[in-house]
Amino acid sequence: MKTLDVTAVPELALHLQSHAQEPLLLTRDGHAVAAVVPADDDVESLLLSIHPQFQAILERSQKRLEAEGGMSSADIRATLGLPPRL
């Protein structure tokens, strides 16, 4: 991952001060080239959400769930020997 101090791009810094909670689309010649999204304090979750291997795991899991079905929380609790939820 590369980082850029927003003060290096004054126009970007100005936008982030006034619209910090909105995504910002960066364009070149009218075509989208990047997006700046709010990161708050949870940068790890943001980076994980766009990681190709994590995306592959999610897709594989979704396909398996659709093909094989899943277990209800009651079934999981019974399998683990936990009492039913009230």
Let me know whether 5 and 27 are in one domain. yes
3-state SS, residue 7 = helix
Sequence letter at residue 5: D
pLDDT at 19: 62
Sequence letter at residue 25: L
- Per-chain mean pLDDT for the chain: 86
Percent of the chain with pLDDT over 90: 41
Is residue 44, in this structure, part of any structural domain at all?
Answer: no
Let me know whether 24 and 57 are in one domain. no
26-59 pLDDT, tens digit each: 899 999 998 888 777 788 888 888 899 999 999 9
Residue 3's domain comprises 1-38
Answer yes or no: pTM beyond 0.85.
Answer: no
Is residue 43, in this structure, part of any structural domain at all?
Answer: no
Distance, in Å, from the CA atom of 61 to the CA atom of 67, rounded to the nearest integer, reads 10
